[in-house]
Amino acid sequence: MIKALLARLKQGYRTMDFPAADLRLPPRGLGRPELSGRLEKAAAACPYSAITAGADPVLDLGKCVFCGACAAADPAGVSFTRDHRLCSSRREDLAVKGSVLKRADALGTELRGIFGRSFRLRQVSAGGCNACEADCNVLGTPAWDMGRFGIQFVASPRHADGILVTGPVTKNMELALRKTYDAVSSPKVVIACGACAIGGGPYAGHDECVGIPKDIPVDLYIPGCPPHPMTILDGLLRLLGRID
């Protein structure tokens, strides 16, 4: 026990500042895209039809798995910045045109008053590969420590203020997702985390994947495959009105 305490003292303060002006994704990370030209080559290279080519091309971050195939095929047309701020409040706002991406809005004044200082989420893995789930778990480590913002994951939906959904929602998980959603007291928040939860990801259109039911309203979309912990935390804090 003494050795553990001494090691911890030697490590010092490990929690990063967030948000910070100099925060960027790692060099290999792909952040907010910027588009130029008609993007025919990029659209042809995209494995999941996330790009619509033409005079006014669009890249749908809800379908994008950030594989970089479009940028490799058309480096003059698509470039990925290291900007981690990718979350939006509406599905249609994930459509990038040029370099424009509308970021997430904060909850209304009443909900911010309820959730702003204490926000508990039940995470629902609805058929995911565990990548999004792993990056959500990272937020509980000392380096990220999302608990300092009053945000925590809880074991029961009855203790939660909302649910964070990962995975494409398979048929086998649809009922479990509905039961979890119903068990959370109102008012409540729903967050779609990752390409699978937003648009099906690689499984879009598969007979066994149904997606988040339309009668379960989504308040925040966090794109990525998987989203970087910076992106997830940025979205949560924007939702709560903690950052602009």
**Residue 169 dihedral angles phi and psi, to the nearest 5°:** 60, 85
pLDDT, tens only, 65-88: 999 999 999 999 999 999 999 999
Q: Under a CB-based contact definition with an 8 Å cutoff, are residues 39 and 57 in contact?
A: yes
C-alpha–C-alpha distance, residues 142 and 125, integer Å: 23
Contacts of 164 (CB under 8 A, 6+ apart): 121, 122, 123, 124, 136, 153, 191, 193
Q: What are the residue ranges spanned by the domains of the chain?
A: 109-239
**Mean pLDDT value across residues 170-182:** 97
Q: Report pLDDT digits (tens) over 101-150.
A: 999 999 999 999 999 999 999 999 999 999 999 999 999 998 999 999 99
Tell me: the pLDDT tens digits for 184-211? 999 999 999 999 999 999 999 999 999 9
Mean pLDDT of 36-44: 97
CATH ID of 109-239, from 3.30.460.10, 3.90.1150.10, 3.40.50.12280, 1.10.1040.50: 3.40.50.12280
State the residue for tokens 């959730």.
115
- pLDDT surpasses 90 at 5: no
H or E element in which residue 72 lies? helix 69-73
Confidence of residue 8 (pLDDT cuts 50, 70, 90): confident
Given phi > 0 = left and psi -120 to 50 = alpha, else beta, which region is 45? Answer: alpha
Interatomic CA distance for residues 185 and 159, integer angstroms = 9
Q: What is the average per-residue pLDDT within 222-240?
A: 97
Q: Torsion-angle region of residue 91: left (phi > 0), alpha (psi -120 to 50) or beta?
A: alpha
- Distance CA(20)–CA(62), nearest Å, equals 26
For residue 14, pLDDT beyond 80: no
Token look-up 């050795």 returns: 3
Per-residue model confidence (pLDDT) at position 7:
80
- Is the pLDDT reported for residue 1 higher than 90? no
* Residue 21 or residue 91, greater confidence: 91
Residue 20, pLDDT score: 93
Ramachandran sector of residue 233 (left: φ over 0; alpha: ψ -120 to 50; beta: rest): alpha
Name the pTM for this structure.
Answer: 0.94
Q: Collapsing DSSP states into helix, strand and coil, what is residue 191? A: strand
pLDDT of residue 213: 96
Nearest C-alpha neighbor of 40 from the set 82, 74, 9, 88: 74
Report the pLDDT value the prediction gives residue 244, as an integer from 0 to 100. Answer: 80
The angle that helices 229-239 and 131-138 make with each other, rounded to 10 degrees, is 70
Please report, rounded to a whole number, the percentage of residues in the chain having pLDDT higher than 90.
90
Closest CA to 202 of 129, 151, 136, 140: 129
